[in-house]
Structure 1
């Protein structure tokens, strides 16, 4: 874990090295000041030598100034190092997430990734800052102060050793108990963020169904779970301060008792005892700082593990060596393809799919919910890889293509349409960054989006709110289709992408495709028979298997499932997933 995290220090190595260097100089000056104080008392004040007082006093001022300067520089560099480290962590995670395949993304919740990039990174940043500054300062101060104490009086210094051993044992016990709790704490943070994210994104649904109280209760439960765990963890960590104070006061009392005896017998001077008190406070302050580091590191260890999970996650899909950089045509073939979302689980979503699609064909895809329609088309643009068999585009296995080239030429309008905050033109140019306004307008005409865009006061400069909340579902779908058309793809996949538009507009879009992009292979997933019946061929899927693949007319004659869908919709039955009534079925359950 530590090795992976430290790789993200990158360009901030210089600041990370200068911080402990200046911290060490600061500590050295602070450790020498009490020693100079003892010399002022013993060689100057007690002997009445004002020259020695001035000499050692001037030396003390120089050391104090150097200590101050070193502290300022150490603070400056540690701020740059820790902030830069946190920035690199966030960048590293975000870049790796962008490389994730869908199967990688499925392992993490959105809220979990947000928590890792915010709360977890902040914890690690604070810990790194303390390690560079305090974790260097405290041990150095401890070692140097102990060395000076042993130099002054070995026997009195044994008090400190006993205190350190007792404190280390107590802190080790506390740390063991709290580490597991903090692991659970940050998982609860994910639940809390998930509750907020889900509620805000679906606020219209919450209000429409008057479920505010239910959502409030759900959030309160998540917040209370987090509260209970924090109280438990902080309750254990609170023992740290009493243990520290017990050690501090024990050392002061012991030093006062035994130090007085040493002065009486002549084994210690007054100046040396004074400096011993300064050193004992330095030692104990160092121990207190180390206990603070211990608390911070305990918290950030759990955060560090969660960050490393994302940084170390390897994308399931990668480019091959020497990938193909062009696609000859829009032909598609599935050769005995089987697929499951959890590889090796045995729960296949697609079973032995075998089909051939010629360039420029329009293929309708229809089937019940969960029949595998979206899974099938996701394999074409290699959003997932097959378990068995081969998917070919342009005659080549999709795994041989550069993924960016493949996805540029296989445009997908997904089932869930997404628009981003920005103007309509900004959103359209997601399809092609260098598209001119004229090209954007033409794509909108093909997608029948120009009809509503030109009614806006700002037309193509109209601002789209986050998620496209200020346009209707049908308008959002047409903008997404136009965005895909700007790529000028060889294959266009519409995954139920006209479900929110009226049938007349749907027909216009289909007619536009026939006239404007005849050479593009088009795959249209739809719930309505009317959206696919004019396709060259229609693929009927049932439970991940091909039930039929033919023209509309032939399927009506030969395919029972297609006939049921057609008759249900023509009779106004609505969704073909709706079960048939007893009156509509015969004895064997088939439509009478």
Structure 2
């Protein structure tokens, strides 16, 4: 929690207002029982109606002042807590945006969403309570004890018995509740993960008739969370009646011993009534503290999860003294590059060396798991190499800023990703200041113009969340258009033509050849027909280069490439 306090600095003035207002409210509430005692002892007992009206009117003013202070304090505490939550969410969002793929893999998407939403909400709610209670509870407790002592010193011995009992109950509840709150947050992560997988994979689930299986998975995660929540609520449910019993027994004891002291002439009736109210205030202050002690552990768990995200620094950082790449070149070279994923026993790629130059098309082909996507993820520096170097225009990518490096690259991922918004906005995502002409030209080259023209609102057609209202091939073409509008020096296509039919694939490659003539083009593909005309083909097998050259050269020198070609093409097509 301490590490999050710095996010409260912009809200110091509202917090000071809250503290002052709560102090005034506490003083008002502490003063009211004394005024009531005066009314009883000096007004009711003596029959002085004028005095009763006078002090009664003053009590109403004091009570009204307390209410005004309470309402205003609530407003400022809500303002400070909401601002704190907003600032913290923005900080986490921007911080997570700097993560490399390694950190995303470490936390998981579901957990990051929970930490940014639910965990911050938990801390925000407790902050509102703390701003109200961290002044009020101690003030009411200490002030109540002082005022009770001023009314009758010996009667406070009743409180000396009940208060320690209350403290013991609070400590027991806290000890039992903290582990359960920690478990609840972890189980909430699991529930979110199952729900997210269910929603994003709904087509696969339905196509394999696994709806009942997914319901069972969700029910198990849901019931697991529910059982823990019920257990926590049982503790809370047991705590409240226990505290009320102590509260009521304390009241009975005060009346019992107070009546004895009144009959002996050591105490006035009004003082005893005031003493009961002060005792209630003291006990309720402990009740407020108990509520805080129960909520703070859960918030502290949430806070530690938030701090864990903020304390995790991205592996990939910009260099202190970055080197500026040459303008408009786009040469890429791999020098003895090896890479393994964190925790993996084997290297994903090993000792990879090749060069790509502007004006040429380089293709990468290989079996599933051969390391194709891993290799191209090293160019925009989504991961850093373990050994060797990836050079862009003769500069190690680790010596360039990530912004300047990625500015040179037009990346089309294996899984085409579209964002909520219009088709034009999705294409312009590659270049914010792209003109309408540039957007339409990119769509034409990507072979997307025809299906866009058939849509109801043309380029203003809204894309649904996740691109669910367009087909797989349309998604890929829009993703390609997004890269083309950027006009980068390096194009990276990660199996980006897999959803296209052969006719569209051929047209697209012909248009790309003309459009990207002066750029460096890297194509990862499963289909041989897509990469046969490439200037250089890299064949990967188990993370190593099994062949390098043109289609004709590889047919003569690479056994792995020949097997791939023969598995896809007929003898006539090979000839």
What's the TM-score bracket when you normalise by the shorter of the two chains?
A: over 0.9
Counterpart mapping for 1:104-123 below 5 A = 104-123=103-122
Partner of 2:334: 334
Counterpart mapping for 1:160-559 below 5 A = 160-328=159-327, 329-342=329-342, 347-559=346-558
> How far apart are 1:128 and its partner, in Å?
0.9
**Cα distance in 2 between the residues matched to 1:509 and 1:62:** 81
Q: Is the 8 A contact 1:29 1:66 kept in 2?
A: yes
**Cα distance in 2 between the residues matched to 1:302 and 1:13:** 25
Partner of 1:28: 27
Structure 1 stretches of 5 or more lacking a match? Answer: 573-592
**Cα distance in 1 between the residues matched to 2:250 and 2:142:** 17
> How far apart are 1:49 and its partner, in Å?
4.4
Counterpart mapping for 1:81-92 below 5 A = 81-92=80-91
Partner of 1:578: none
* Secondary structure, counterpart of 1:541 in structure 2: strand
**Cα distance in 1 between the residues matched to 2:376 and 2:204:** 30
> How far apart are 1:62 and its partner, in Å?
2.5
Q: Is the 8 A contact 1:339 1:351 kept in 2?
A: yes
Map Cα deviations across residues 81-109 of structure 1 (whole Å, 9 max, x no partner). Answer: 22222222222221212111111111122
Q: Is the 8 A contact 1:8 1:92 kept in 2?
A: no
> How far apart are 1:246 and its partner, in Å?
2.5
**Cα distance in 2 between the residues matched to 1:367 and 1:484:** 24
> How far apart are 1:377 and its partner, in Å?
0.8
Q: Is the 8 A contact 1:327 1:406 kept in 2?
A: no
**Cα distance in 2 between the residues matched to 1:280 and 1:512:** 85
**Cα distance in 2 between the residues matched to 1:326 and 1:335:** 18
Greater Cα shift, 460-469 or 3-12: 3-12
Greater Cα shift, 95-104 or 263-272: 263-272
Change (3 A) 1:325 1:156: farther
Greater Cα shift, 272-281 or 14-23: 14-23
> How far apart are 1:447 and its partner, in Å?
1.4
* Secondary structure, counterpart of 2:7 in structure 1: coil
**Cα distance in 2 between the residues matched to 1:326 and 1:463:** 38
* Secondary structure, counterpart of 1:439 in structure 2: helix
> How far apart are 1:9 and its partner, in Å?
2.4
* Secondary structure, counterpart of 1:239 in structure 2: helix
**Cα distance in 1 between the residues matched to 2:335 and 2:172:** 61
Map Cα deviations across residues 162-209 of structure 1 (whole Å, 9 max, x no partner). Answer: 322111112112211221112111211122222222222222222222
Map Cα deviations across residues 8-49 of structure 1 (whole Å, 9 max, x no partner). Answer: 224322222221221111010110111122222223333444
Map Cα deviations across residues 445-479 of structure 1 (whole Å, 9 max, x no partner). Answer: 22121232222242212221111111111111011
Q: Is the 8 A contact 2:173 2:294 kept in 1?
A: no
Counting matched residue pairs gives 570
**Cα distance in 2 between the residues matched to 1:225 and 1:265:** 61
> How far apart are 1:417 and its partner, in Å?
0.6
**Cα distance in 2 between the residues matched to 1:243 and 1:347:** 59
> How far apart are 1:126 and its partner, in Å?
1.4
**Cα distance in 1 between the residues matched to 2:429 and 2:99:** 19
Q: Is the 8 A contact 1:398 1:406 kept in 2?
A: yes
Q: Is the 8 A contact 1:421 1:463 kept in 2?
A: yes
Greater Cα shift, 123-132 or 52-61: 52-61
**Cα distance in 1 between the residues matched to 2:350 and 2:160:** 71
1:151 and 2:150 correspond: yes
TM-score of the two chains, using structure 1 as the length reference: 0.93
Greater Cα shift, 528-537 or 192-201: 192-201
1:133 and 2:108 correspond: no
Q: Is the 8 A contact 2:427 2:478 kept in 1?
A: yes
**Cα distance in 2 between the residues matched to 1:254 and 1:327:** 87
Structure 2 stretches of 5 or more lacking a match? Answer: none
* Secondary structure, counterpart of 1:354 in structure 2: strand
* Secondary structure, counterpart of 1:365 in structure 2: strand
> How far apart are 1:58 and its partner, in Å?
3.5
Q: Is the 8 A contact 1:167 1:243 kept in 2?
A: no
Q: Is the 8 A contact 1:330 1:360 kept in 2?
A: no
Greater Cα shift, 18-27 or 87-96: 87-96
Map Cα deviations across residues 225-274 of structure 1 (whole Å, 9 max, x no partner). Answer: 11111122222222211320232122112211221222222222222111
Map Cα deviations across residues 326-380 of structure 1 (whole Å, 9 max, x no partner). Answer: 444211111221111217x653211122222222321000111111111111111
Q: Is the 8 A contact 1:126 1:296 kept in 2?
A: no
**Cα distance in 2 between the residues matched to 1:373 and 1:390:** 17
* Secondary structure, counterpart of 2:322 in structure 1: coil
**Cα distance in 2 between the residues matched to 1:185 and 1:50:** 59
> How far apart are 1:77 and its partner, in Å?
0.8
> How far apart are 1:50 and its partner, in Å?
4.7
